[in-house]
Amino acid sequence: MGKRVALVLAGCGVFDGSEIHEASAALVHLSRGGAEVKIFAPNIEQRDVVDHLKGSPAEEKRNVLVESARLARGSIQDLAELKAGEFDAVIFPGGFGVAKNLCSWAVDGKNCTVNEHVNATLQAFHSAKKPIGLCCISPVLAAKVFPGCEVTVGQDKNVDGRFPDAETASAIAELGCKHVCKNVNESHVDKANKIVTTCAFMCKAPLHEIFDGIGTMVQEVLKLA
């Protein structure tokens, strides 16, 4: 029987929700790995709405769960209903929605607060010694909730202009966590905490390399499950 994996979304669209390519890549790799997946998102209002054509704020309000349902093809549940006992692992794709809706990192950086249901989910899987997979900016959730853990968001320097958000690694270190430098097609496994991370779009890389990196993260999560 396949592993039961919960996938947590943060909306729909890179600038104010979940990064669509990352969410899709995770789902493809989970499908290939024979996993049984259920999708969740918090039933909350988005911090903001961004016009993805213009790249500017839009004067409207949207709901994270309703928007995430687009990616889930309608098959989605409120994150408040997620029970860690019914799953073997949990995965969080990236996107600015993680830093805006699942926590306040986009505004407050390392001093951010984490949504109560996101925090409860992370704590429940961690306490049960079940693996947690995170990509792109979502490793900051683990860094905030689990001081001392090991994660990667790619490199800690903007190598060849490919890691424009490299300062995130320093903020993670300031939280008392260890940042491990990895390339886009790699992931890092914190064996003690069963946390698996990969940088995805934190690196300016071809889409297939990001897809492959997320694949390594999913594979490692399924191995630990």
**Residue among 103, 112, 135, 136 flagged as catalytic:** 136
Position 81 scores a pLDDT of 98
Residue pair 128/61 in contact (Cβ under 8 Å)? The answer is: no
Provide the residue type at 94 as one letter: G
User: pLDDT-based confidence at 176, cuts 50/70/90?
Assistant: very high
Mean pLDDT score, 105-126:
98
Residue pair 112/143 in contact (Cβ under 8 Å)? The answer is: no
Which pLDDT tens digit goes with each residue over 191-202?
999 999 999 999
Position 17 scores a pLDDT of 98
Average pLDDT value over all residues in the chain: 98
136 catalytically annotated: yes
* Number of neighbouring beta carbons within 10 Å of residue 194: 21
Which pLDDT tens digit goes with each residue over 27-86?
999 999 999 999 999 999 999 999 999 999 999 999 999 999 999 999 999 999 999 999
Whether 1 has a pLDDT exceeding 80, the answer reads no
**pTM of the shown model:** 0.98
Position 117 scores a pLDDT of 98
Mean pLDDT score, 95-112:
98
